Amino acid sequence: MRNALTIARREIGAALASPVAYVLFGAFAFLYGYFFADYLQSFVEAGMRMSQMGGFSGGTLNVNTDLLRWLMASTAVLVLFLLPLLSMRTVSEEIRSGTMELLLTAPITDGQIVLGKFLAAFALYGGMLALTGLHVGVLFWFSQPEIAPVLAAYLGLLLLGAGLLALGLFFSSLTRNQIVAGLLTFGALLVLWLVEFAGARGGELGRVLAYLSVTGHMEGFARGVITTRDLVFYLSFAAFWLFLARESVRSRRWRG
């Protein structure tokens, strides 16, 4: 574990020394801020319409279900498109620069290499999510949302990110070209997102496709509901791709 943490610290330092990380953080903050402002405006306008009608509209507005739920669901889709940019350099940059051979000849295991890379990317992703704390804090300052559903939504985003980063790490281990790794990851995630719409047709195949949707399992977390089904999916999804990434790195050791 110590070797993995050493690799993670080195990776985080290298990422923060590159402008790519700051561009990615800035893009995420901008797009998330746009979604937040848009949903907040819609929420406020709906509240004003209810007020003008004397408070009678067949129900009441709730910050968790009518604002945060949709904000977190949109954030999941945003993460889906941005995380390939974070994972694409994890291993491919080592291969391109020739430092992968140094790692493979060092007294560390393939699993420690993969785990260290994954932990670094996951820590940076956690930093991205931390940027959203300001917006959510504003809601807590001016209203009284329930904390449990908010924590459940963030847990879902963390698990979703772990799975996406693990998949991106695998594709990054297949090539020395960062752009190719990013495109492969983006293509795979796009397919795993679109199967949700294919699964809406129903039937046995539809249920299977709906289960494979990476964002579909985020819906429960966004509502504040944590189920074993969704937890098992995200954890097994991340473990599967980390296993493949380790095997990919191991194959390079034997080929090298």
Which pLDDT score is estimated for 119? Answer: 94
| Sequential DSSP letters for 151-203 | HHHHHHHHHHHHHHHHHHHHHHTT-S-HHHHHHHHHHHHHHHHHHHHHHTT-H
Residue-wise pLDDT tens digits, 12-42: 888 888 888 888 899 999 999 999 888 888 8
DSSP 90-146: TTHHHHHHTTHHHHHHSS--HHHHHHHHHHHHHHHHHHHHHTTHHHHHHHHHHS---
Residues 212-246 pLDDT 10s: 778 888 888 888 888 999 999 999 999 999 999 99
pLDDT in tens, 87-108: 888 888 777 877 777 777 777 8
71 pLDDT higher than 90: no
Between 36 and 51, the higher pLDDT residue: 36
Lowest mean pLDDT among 17-26, 142-151, 200-209: 200-209
User: Is it the case that residue 110 has pLDDT exceeding 90?
Assistant: no
Q: Which of 156, 155, 125 is nearest to 11 (CA)?
A: 125
**Average pLDDT of the chain to the nearest whole number:** 84
Provide the pLDDT confidence category of residue 58 given band limits of 50, 70 and 90. low
Delimit the domains of the chain by residue range.
2-255
pTM of the model: 0.88
